[in-house]
């Protein structure tokens, strides 16, 4: 029992196998498909189909409320999973999988609510509940990396679990634009896919119980002065993710109103595919190279530069050929960033006993950026210069994130 009691908090030293990586990849694919397909495709179409005025503003309100909820749920779910000791018939089980499964079930039900939502009120409720479930999943799935992956393997593994961020959107977009053509059945397909992709990881991978190991009382106080690298890692992620939110939230409307594409829905699918090609081509390679080099920051810096170049192109030349090239560059930069930054973050966590909670705090950064993104983007598009200003803001924000990573001292 000694090994069981201590394994949950021990620093991993044994390399994880390809089968485990594959199941974690699938679980993340289901998560991001359920999170990003509504954000990029289903919610914009659903709100437009409702016929409400100021569709950009309402999309920002709905997604902003969901993101605010995510800010609260992610660290809370992480902290609870750090301390969970589930017992069934006298046997203690692991602390993570029960939360992953519960979050997936809530996400499934919430997507079904969205499929029958008759008005903006129920769209908002459904998306808020979906954010609760999906962010519970995000907190526990993210913790799997520091729980089980040695430091020297984290760049490669982070590359694998970073790819689903784009691949999930591509798979989801294909399903909701080719298999079905309206939002209601699209939500149903995404909900079913979520459960099918997450279940194997929950049922077939190990999840170490805490046993009688003492863990600190739940607290959300962080000694940022004592952990400055953790603070700078948060700032880096917030700024880069804010840039990503600013640059991608209104792509459907950008193709419709600025590029004036005849079929913007199909155009968005093409851009998503090109983005994914760029991302897949760099995520694993960037993670592997950072493992081999033993360096993380230089990769984050250059990924930010590449994203800024792509955003600048969209702002200056709002044409279909430029949009396609920029999508590849945007994906390539973001692929490197996700792989390397995820590995970097796991190396600056303050305490093993609070891995999921601390990662939940880190995950507030993308959630907060998703909440702030619409608040900044909507008035910019509507009143402050339109899409050129929006993409200029995207480039500047992302570059600021690339500069912030330099302040991290404990990771090269």
Q: Residue ranges per domain, the chain?
A: 2-212+223-407
Q: Which two tokens stand for residue 262?
A: 């005849």
Say what the pLDDT of residue 3 is: 38
Q: For residues 115 and 122, what is the distance between their CA atoms, to the nearest angstrom?
A: 10
- Tens place of pLDDT per residue across the chain (412 aa): 333 445 777 788 889 999 999 999 999 999 999 998 998 889 999 999 998 888 878 888 898 898 889 889 999 999 999 888 888 766 778 889 999 999 999 999 999 999 999 999 999 999 999 999 999 999 999 999 999 999 889 988 988 988 888 788 888 988 998 888 899 999 999 999 999 999 999 999 999 888 777 776 776 666 667 789 999 999 999 999 999 888 888 888 899 889 999 889 889 888 988 988 898 888 888 888 998 888 899 999 999 999 999 999 999 999 999 999 999 999 999 988 988 888 898 888 888 778 888 888 888 888 778 778 878 888 888 888 889 999 999 999 999 998 999 999 888 8
Nearest to 254 by CA among 367, 387, 378, 123: 387
Nearest to 366 by CA among 70, 106, 30: 70
CA angle 105, 65, 250 (to 5 degrees): 100
Check if the beta carbon of residue 246 is closer than 8 Å to that of residue 259: no
Q: Tally DSSP H helices, then E strands, for the chain.
A: 16, 2
2-212+223-407 carries CATH number 1.20.1250.20:
yes
Say what the pLDDT of residue 381 is: 86
- DSSP assignment letter at 91: E
- What's the Rg (C-alpha) of the chain? 20
Q: For residues 38 and 44, what is the distance between their CA atoms, to the nearest angstrom?
A: 8
């Amino acid at each position: 029992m000694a090994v069981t009691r201590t394994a949950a908090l021990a620093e991993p030293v044994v390399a994880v196998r390809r089968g485990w990586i594959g199941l974690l990849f699938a679980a993340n694919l289901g998560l991001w498909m359920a999170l990003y397909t509504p954000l990029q495709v289903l919610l914009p179409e659903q709100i437009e189909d409702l016929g409400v005025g100021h569709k950009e503003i309402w999309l920002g309100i709905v997604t902003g409320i969901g993101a605010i909820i995510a800010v609260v749920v992610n660290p809370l779910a992480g902290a609870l999973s750090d301390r969970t000791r589930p017992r069934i018939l006298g046997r203690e089980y692991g602390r993570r999988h029960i939360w992953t499964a519960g979050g997936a079930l809530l996400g499934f039900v919430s997507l079904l609510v969205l499929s029958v939502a008759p008005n903006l009120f129920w769209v908002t409720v459904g998306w808020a509940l979906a954010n609760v479930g999906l962010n519970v999943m995000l907190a526990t799935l993210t913790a799997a990396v520091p729980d089980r992956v040695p430091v020297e393997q984290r760049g490669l593994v982070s590359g694998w679990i970073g790819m689903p961020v784009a691949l999930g959107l591509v798979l989801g977009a294909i399903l909701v634009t080719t298999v079905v053509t309206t939002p209601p059945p699209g939500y149903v397909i995404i909900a079913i896919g979520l459960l099918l992709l997450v279940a194997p990881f929950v049922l077939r991978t190990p999840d170490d119980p805490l046993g009688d190991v003492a863990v600190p009382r739940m607290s959300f106080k962080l000694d940022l002065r004592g952990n400055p690298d953790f603070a700078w890692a948060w700032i880096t992620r917030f700024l880069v993710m804010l840039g990503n939110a600013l640059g991608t939230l209104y792509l459907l409307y950008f193709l419709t109103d600025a590029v004036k594409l005849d079929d913007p829905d199909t155009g968005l699918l093409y851009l998503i595919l090109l983005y994914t090609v760029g991302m897949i081509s760099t995520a694993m390679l960037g993670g592997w190279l950072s493992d081999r080099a033993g360096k993380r920051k230089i990769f984050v810096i250059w990924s930010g530069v590449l994203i800024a170049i792509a955003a600048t192109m969209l702002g200056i030349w709002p044409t279909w050929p430029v949009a396609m090239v920029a999508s590849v560059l945007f994906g390539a930069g973001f692929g490197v960033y996700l792989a390397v930054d995820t590995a970097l973050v796991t190396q600056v966590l303050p305490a093993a006993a609070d891995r999921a909670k601390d990662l939940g705090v880190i995950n507030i950064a993308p959630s907060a950026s998703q909440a702030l993104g619409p608040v900044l983007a909507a008035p910019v598009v509507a009143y402050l210069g339109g899409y050129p200003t929006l993409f200029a803001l995207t480039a500047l924000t992302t570059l600021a994130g690339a500069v912030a990573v330099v302040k991290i001292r404990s990771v090269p």
